[in-house]
Amino acid sequence: MTTIQGAQSTGCRPTGFSTRQRTGWIVLTALAPVVWGTTYIVTTRALPSDHPVFAAFMRTLPAGVLALLVARQLPRGGWWWRSLVLGALNMACFFPLLFVAAQRLPGGVAATLGAAQPIVVAILAVVVLGERPSARRLGWAAIGVVGVALVVLGPQAELDALGVAAGLGGSVSMGLGVVLTKRWGRPDGAGVLSLAGWQLTGAGLLLAVPALLVDGIPQAIDTVAVAGYGWLGLVGGLAAYVVWFEGVRRLPVTPTALLGLLSPLTAALLGIAVAGEVLTALQLLGFATALTAMTAGQLPASSPRSS
């Protein structure tokens, strides 16, 4: 197994390519939040209940170790601590906060708070990356949040202070993780599988003790639960993060974050397909609004014509 030097590659900078190539990367990157949208239904229907931290642990460490065995690359120098920081922000902090929000809030409220992530990313991109603030993309991000809210919020939605704090904290955690992933890129010679493996392993190590002390190991893990852990770890964890990290590297960070709106929308569609839920006219309007905002946010700003 080889080690990778701590030097940052130029790959962290936006890559120039044609409109067709850019569209292809947008579509590919969008698969990650679509897969993440299956988390709620898999968690509630396949996994043992009341073990959220253990579920987060199972979603990270096994997949991370597998990635390390396949990629056969270890970080070196500053990438040891960077991997831990990114793993904590993107996974180890985000997953438990997500579960707390889901447990203490109606699903629609939790999803709406999560949909605020593009706004968080847009603000942090100005501070961390020095990007010029784009009122247009901030506006579409806000419209996207409204669209998601129309889809998932019910008339009886109640707010819990701790749940709201957890939901917003999760958005800030992963939002900062996305921005730092863009800022740091990856070292020369390291592939995206290595980057995902370092972060998943780091997150799993950070979650190991809390998972055992807070949740413990579920008494009964049947074949359905094993399949659920496998889906969340290999597909929703390793495969999705490989695609997501490569998309973050190649695409502008704020419109990429807007793709995250697909996660709650996917969860809503699965509710229709699996649980027999029916969307009202207002929810259909919200669905169309969120998709419009996400699509419009991907369009590059028009350059002013010279006189």
User: Where do the domains of the chain lie?
Assistant: 20-298
Token pair 């950070």: residue:
206
Q: Judge contact between 231 and 9, C-beta under 8 A.
A: no
pLDDT of residue 54: 93
Q: Using one digit for the tens of pLDDT, what is the confidence trace for 197-220?
A: 999 999 999 999 999 999 899 988
Q: Which of 101-115, 217-231, 249-263 has the highest mean pLDDT?
A: 217-231
CB-CB neighbours of 30 under 10 Å? 21
Res 165 pLDDT > 90: no
- Tokens at 18, concatenated: 């044609």
Full-model pTM: 0.84
CB-CB neighbours of 88 under 10 Å? 18
Q: Residue 111's closest CA among 162, 60, 163, 161?
A: 163
- Tokens at 135, concatenated: 């009122």
Q: How far apart are CA 221 and CA 130, in angstroms?
A: 47
Res 29 pLDDT > 70: yes
